Amino acid sequence: MIRLCGFWLALAFSLFAAPAISAATDSSVEAVVIHQTMNRQGPEALLINDTVEVRRLSDLMLDNKQGAIHACGYHWLILFFHQDGSITTVAHNEECEEYPRANWRIHRILNEHFEVALNSPTHYLINIAVPSHIGLTDVQRALEDANNKVICSKGESARLPSIVVRSTAVSEIPSNRDQWEDAKNANRAVAKREVQKGVDVVQDTGLVESLDPLRIPTSSFGGMKISDTVERKLFLKYSASPRDVPKPPNGIEFEFPDPPEFYTIQFVSESPYSEELCKLLLAKLPPILDIALFPKYFQDDVRK
């Protein structure tokens, strides 16, 4: 078994960057899972598969985007499981969440569900460390059924090797202040174009499975210089290695993070955490590396 540490699940979900696992709303929802996160930490959860209530929550909350991302964090995640296998996740702050439509009605309904989840939970979240060579679909096939669900916030990309394409653009600050904003936008646009050149090189290999959005990790304006660093992470086929990727174009950097040895799923279980449940899970999916009650998390430097 691998060592555990007390990292919060919030680190895995990266809510501030991307509060939804998927934006899919075109297929019907078959179940809803409500569980605690970040500002509330506990394994208790609520699985709703009553058709009427699932439809009510879907109609109220899907395509009803909140107005802001909260620096103060979130208390709950509401996950909508679609029939096509996708998951739409809404992050909810108990104190300052606002929805464009039916705001107070949504709060009232959710508060009722939160009360049930805390005091009479139907399910419990259990973290499972899975070796990276085991695909997410195989995990779902082994563990999921109508009453038990599998959550993986990053989807299949959680287990894949990746490459970060990065470029930095630097230009002079114009002496005319009226030109500053245009100059900043132009400099950033140069960095984005260069990153796209690198992305094209990697995509031409046929190895890319998925891409993260563009990031701007550093940006500065001062000392007579404008500087912007832009990067994008691409996830590659499981068998890919740095040797399979050509050298980057001039002025562009390719970084290859260490490929993950394992990835973590959340198993939404009817049964609370116990030795008996662990044995059952290991019997269903023998390659499992470790099992822990949410919100305990696994260290990145995993050792079997």
User: Which pLDDT score, from 0 to 100, does residue 27 have?
Assistant: 52
Tens of pLDDT along 198-237? Answer: 999 999 999 999 999 999 999 999 999 999 999 999 999 9
Asked whether residue 102 is domain-assigned, the answer is yes
User: Which pLDDT score, from 0 to 100, does residue 297 have?
Assistant: 67
User: Which pLDDT score, from 0 to 100, does residue 30 have?
Assistant: 94
Total of domains in the chain: 2
* Structure tokens that stand for 259 in this block: 């490929």
**pLDDT higher than 80, residue 76:** yes
User: Which pLDDT score, from 0 to 100, does residue 111 have?
Assistant: 97
- Looking at the structure, do residues 115 and 181 belong to the same domain, yes or no? no
Mean of per-residue pLDDT scores for the chain: 88
User: Which pLDDT score, from 0 to 100, does residue 299 have?
Assistant: 57
Give the position of tokens 């998390």. Answer: 297
- Looking at the structure, do residues 125 and 272 belong to the same domain, yes or no? yes
Asked whether residue 120 is domain-assigned, the answer is yes
- Looking at the structure, do residues 98 and 81 belong to the same domain, yes or no? yes
d(CA 20, CA 3) in angstroms, rounded, equals 29
- Looking at the structure, do residues 165 and 154 belong to the same domain, yes or no? no
Asked whether residue 178 is domain-assigned, the answer is yes
| CB 282 within 8 Å of CB 274 | no
As a three-state string, the secondary structure of the chain is CCCEECCCCHHHHCCCCCCCCCCCCCCCEEEEEEEECCCCCCCEEEEECCHHHHHHHHHHHCCCCCCCCCCCCCCEEEEEEECCCCEEEEEECCCCCCCCCCHHHHHHHHHHHHHHHHHCCCEEEEEEEEECCCCHHHHHHHHCECCEEEECCCHHHHHCCEEEEEEEEEEECCCCHHHHHHHHHHHHHHHHHHHHHHHHHHHCCCCEEEECCCEEEEEEEECCEEEEEEEEEEEECCCCCHHHCCCCCCCEEEECCCCCCEEEEEEEECCCCCHHHHHHHHHHCCCCCEEEECCCEECCCCCC
**What pLDDT band is residue 304 in, cutting at 50, 70 and 90?**
very low
User: Which pLDDT score, from 0 to 100, does residue 21 have?
Assistant: 40
d(CA 34, CA 9) in angstroms, rounded, equals 15
CA atoms within 13 A on the CB side of 256: 13
- Looking at the structure, do residues 28 and 142 belong to the same domain, yes or no? yes
Asked whether residue 278 is domain-assigned, the answer is yes
Segment 279-295 shows an average pLDDT of: 91
- Looking at the structure, do residues 168 and 195 belong to the same domain, yes or no? yes
User: Which pLDDT score, from 0 to 100, does residue 41 have?
Assistant: 84
**pLDDT higher than 80, residue 67:** no
Tens of pLDDT along 128-162? Answer: 999 999 999 999 999 999 899 999 988 999 999 99
- Compare 26 and 75 and report the one with higher pLDDT: 75
At residue 221's C-alpha, the angle toward residues 216 and 222, to 5°, is 145
d(CA 95, CA 75) in angstroms, rounded, equals 9
CA atoms within 13 A on the CB side of 119: 6
At residue 139's C-alpha, the angle toward residues 135 and 142, to 5°, is 140
Asked whether residue 303 is domain-assigned, the answer is no
User: Which pLDDT score, from 0 to 100, does residue 61 have?
Assistant: 95
Asked whether residue 126 is domain-assigned, the answer is yes
Radius of gyration of the chain (CA): 22
Give the position of tokens 């198993």. Answer: 267
Give the torsion sign (CA, 288, 132, 149, 128).
positive
Segment 235-260 shows an average pLDDT of: 96
- Looking at the structure, do residues 184 and 36 belong to the same domain, yes or no? no
- Looking at the structure, do residues 15 and 123 belong to the same domain, yes or no? yes
Domain encompassing residue 229: 161-255
- Looking at the structure, do residues 22 and 168 belong to the same domain, yes or no? no
CATH number at residue 220: 3.30.110
pTM of the model as a whole: 0.81
**What pLDDT band is residue 65 in, cutting at 50, 70 and 90?**
confident
Torsion of Cα atoms, 88 then 91 then 97 then 98, to 10°: -20
- Looking at the structure, do residues 293 and 237 belong to the same domain, yes or no? no
Asked whether residue 304 is domain-assigned, the answer is no
- Looking at the structure, do residues 16 and 138 belong to the same domain, yes or no? yes
Give the position of tokens 């104190």. Answer: 95
- Compare 16 and 193 and report the one with higher pLDDT: 193
Segment 153-176 shows an average pLDDT of: 96
User: Which pLDDT score, from 0 to 100, does residue 9 have?
Assistant: 37
**pLDDT higher than 60, residue 266:** yes
Cβ neighbours, 10 Å, residue 76: 23
Residues pairing with 297 in the sheet: 5
Asked whether residue 97 is domain-assigned, the answer is yes
**pLDDT higher than 70, residue 1:** no
**pLDDT higher than 70, residue 118:** yes
- Looking at the structure, do residues 174 and 283 belong to the same domain, yes or no? no
